Amino acid sequence: MRHNLKYFDKMRCLRKRSAVSFLGVLVICLLFMNLYIEDGYVLEGDKQLIRETATHQLNPERYAHTYKDLSNFSGSINISYRYLAGTPLPRKRYLTIGLSSVKRKKGNYLLETIKSIFEQSSYEELKEITVVVQLADFDSAWCEGMVQDISQKFAHHIIAGRLIVIHVPEEYYPILDGLKRNYNDPEDRVKFRSKQNVDYAFLLNFCANLSDYYVMLEDDVRCSKNFLTTVKKVITSREGSYWVTLEFSKLGYIGKLYHSHDLPRLAHFLLMFYQEMPCDWLLIHFRGLLAQKEVIRFKPSLFQHMGYYSSYKGAENKLKDDDFEEESFDIPDNPPANLHTNMNVFENYEASKAYSSIDEYFWGKPPSTGDFYGIVFEKPIKISKIKVITGTEDRQNDILHYGALEVGEKIVGSRIGRKCTTYLRLGEFKNGNFEMTDVEHKVLFDISCMRILVTKSQKEWLIIRSISIWTSQTSSQ
């Protein structure tokens, strides 16, 4: 009997230990082993902070705070870059697009990727972007050949300061041989993905001060038409909300958008754990450490993988993003607004998720007559089109069976409790949806509020899948 009790005690201990998050275990183990410190990329102040952090049992929330406080991580990595073509302009752009490319055994898609970026951008959009191509192969002959091809095909973009080609000498790279074989990866695979992490770290470090935002692409990507305009709309719609990464593709390290001020920390992070796992896995941990728990991904995707052969050994890679749309599509503006509802919200499917430009929704328990979902715009606006969709494909009955859409004016109340005193009903929901065009010709006032009003109680729950608003102009008031 005593032997059995000891056995069960041991089992309970094992279960408790297994509850420690993978990320916490990873960080603690790496910090104790001083893997990164040996590479000489961390300043003495960083080393001390890391040693102190390693003495604690970490969880993601606590470590996120600690990681944010690593002020030295906001500084750049001290390496020298070779400018192969172009130089940065003194004026910051809106968006930097980063590409890292190496010599492939089969196929080469870099020129087509650069071509797609420029061809799918309007003249006005080109004024707001900088494209940085890092030739990350140690084969100097290949690099020289690629620079010649790029310079010949895109000379006017280089002269205009829109295209920069760089290279980091091999001497700045950490050890790439004899690394740990995590996940039973073969040694050459470990070397490939570890070097790729360092490549990206150096690229991020270079791009940190070129623009307000940064998006990472791979060197075998096709872009959608006017992708920058769509990115700007999404960023505007997220004003006032916290985010670390916005995703415009569900594949690998394609279409991942960051604030440029986060790039130094991300560069240090990739260097710190360069030999642990592939870069797209590390990015998930980075996002979590900075307290963005959920993926924020925009649909339809703006970037598509077009390569047939992988840069690793020329293996076949037929991955495609089935959410990609190449032609221009009608993206709503969804101007900044405060969102609220008196409905009983289910779990974390809060009101803001229906107004988001990403793939999420509001979900409430059965609404009653008079319940509402309200939008109060930060500034009065002119609206050209409104579209509201309720229900989902797998929950087709969780629609608004009886409802109306109204717009309002004459705001009263404080910033938190602002509301409109006068509303105009535009129409009723039909089969759970509402859509109206030429709104500015039907509403003579500048719209300050919009609300979805439940006109009859229903037994079914309610999903508001998306609320899309297109503006014709911003009021001058």
Q: For residue range 128-181, what is the model confidence (pLDDT) as tens digits?
A: 999 999 999 999 999 999 999 999 999 999 999 999 999 999 999 988 877 677
Mean pLDDT of the chain: 80
Residue 8: Cβ-neighbour burial (10 angstroms; 0-12, 13-18, 19+): exposed
Cis preceding-peptide flag for 88 (omega within 30 of 0): no
Tokens representing 70 are 């690593």
Closest CA to 287 of 242, 244, 238, 241: 244
Angle formed by the axes of helices 263-272 and 187-207, nearest 10°: 160
- Kind of pairing between the strands at 93-101 and 129-135: parallel
The full length of the chain comes to 477
Q: Looking at residue 289, what DSSP letter applies?
A: H
Q: Provide the CATH topology of domain 82-305.
A: Spore Coat Polysaccharide Biosynthesis Protein SpsA; Chain A (3.90.550)
Q: Which amino acid is at 139?
A: D
Question: Residues with Cβ < 8 Å from 53, sequence gap 6 or more?
Answer: 27, 31, 63, 66
pTM (global) more than 0.95: no
Question: The sheet that has 93-101: what strands, in order across it?
Answer: 82-85, 163-167, 129-135, 93-101, 211-216, 256-259, 246-247
Contact of 143 with 101, CB cutoff 8 Å: no
User: What pLDDT is attached to residue 391?
Assistant: 93
Whether the Cβ atoms of residue 374 and residue 341 lie closer than 8 Å to each other: yes
Query: CA 352 to CA 329: how far, in whole Å?
Result: 23
Top pLDDT among 55 and 367 is at 367
Pick the CATH number of 337-471 from 3.40.50.300, 3.50.50.60, 2.60.120.260, 3.40.50.720: 2.60.120.260
Amino acid at residue number 16: K
3-state secondary structure 184-198: HCCHHHHHHHHHHHH
Residue 44 and residue 49: Cα distance in Å, rounded? 9
Cα distance between residue 204 and residue 228, in whole Å = 19
Give the residue with greater pLDDT, 56 vs 185.
Answer: 185
Highest mean pLDDT among 65-69, 102-106, 313-317: 102-106
Q: Kindly give the pairing relationship between strand 93-101 and strand 82-85.
A: unpaired
Q: How many helices (H) and strands (E) does the chain have?
A: 13, 17
Q: In percent, how much of the chain has pLDDT > 70?
A: 76
Please tell me the distance from the alpha carbon of residue 296 to that of residue 286, in angstroms, as a whole number: 14
pLDDT digits (tens, 9 = 90+) for 36-66: 333 333 334 333 433 333 332 333 343 333 3
Tokens linked to 315: 């293996």
Most confident of 36-45, 50-59, 104-113, 454-463: 454-463
Neighbours of 25 (CB within 10 A): 13
Determine what percent of the chain is predicted with pLDDT higher than 90: 47
Longest CA span, the chain: 84
Tokens of 366: 């059965």
Summarize pLDDT for 210-263 with one digit per residue, the tens. Answer: 999 999 998 888 888 899 998 998 888 787 788 999 998 877 778 899 999 999
Average pLDDT value for residue range 297-321: 61
Contacts for 145 with CB less than 8 Å, ≥ 6 apart = none
| CB distance 335 to 469 below 8 Å | yes
Q: Which residue has the higher pLDDT, 408 or 306?
A: 408
Domain boundaries in the chain?
82-305, 337-471
Please state the separation of Cα 180 from the chain's center in Å: 29
3-state helix, strand, coil in the chain (%, to 5): 35, 25, 40
User: In what helix (H) or strand (E) does residue 272 lie, and over which residues does it extend?
Assistant: helix 263-272
Flag whether pLDDT at 108 surpasses 70: yes
Number of Cβ within a 10 Å radius of residue 421: 12
SS3 annotation, 33-58: HCCCHHHCCCCHHHHHHHHHHHCCCC
